[in-house]
Amino acid sequence: MTRGFLGLGSNLGDKRAQIEAALTALRRDPALEVRRVAGFYRTAPLGPVNQDWFLNTVAEIATDLEPRALLKKCQAVEQALGRVRHERWGPRTIDIDLLWLESGGVDEPGLTLPHPGMQGRSFVLVPLRELAPELLLRGHPLEYWLQKADPLGLVEVP
């Protein structure tokens, strides 16, 4: 099985319940194993600021799915939980991003791995560091990227 990481976030409704529901749905899928989940972090929105704060986390997974099939499963979970795509970086009930797969990089229309924006996002890097402090991203340790990332008011939420 291939090790990977998913980013999960929500800024509509009961944010923690939305993320927990997504994790439950992912755990029910026989093609996925959710191994560990990092802590939860509150951040300001990235993009339009006229929206509520986000709750984010990262989950370590294992799967034999090809990246495109994994993306489709994540999008199906989003849709089942009421995700509607009105505007880029707009409010959402749930967002599940493929961040990284140990099987290597992907550069296809609609799917790039590692996730193209993750090195600048503290709400991804901090929980990812909890799960995989040894991970190298584009040839650099996570600490390197954290020094450059905008913290966006990042606060751990118990």
The pLDDT score that the predictor gives to residue 87 is 61
The pLDDT score that the predictor gives to residue 90 is 63
**Pair type for strands 95-101 and 2-10:** antiparallel
Q: Which of 83, 88, 121, 138 is catalytic?
A: 83
Note if 16 is an active site residue.
Answer: no
Low-confidence ranges of the chain (pLDDT < 70): 48-49, 85-90
**Under 8 Å CB-to-CB from 31, ≥6 apart: which residues?**
63, 64, 65, 69, 73
143 vs 49: CA distance, rounded Å: 27
The pLDDT score that the predictor gives to residue 85 is 67
The pLDDT score that the predictor gives to residue 92 is 84
- pTM for the model stands at 0.94
139 vs 137: CA distance, rounded Å: 5
The pLDDT score that the predictor gives to residue 141 is 96
Query: Which is nearest to 21 in space by CA: 61, 81, 66?
Result: 81
Q: Which of 14, 88, 95, 129 is catalytic?
A: 95
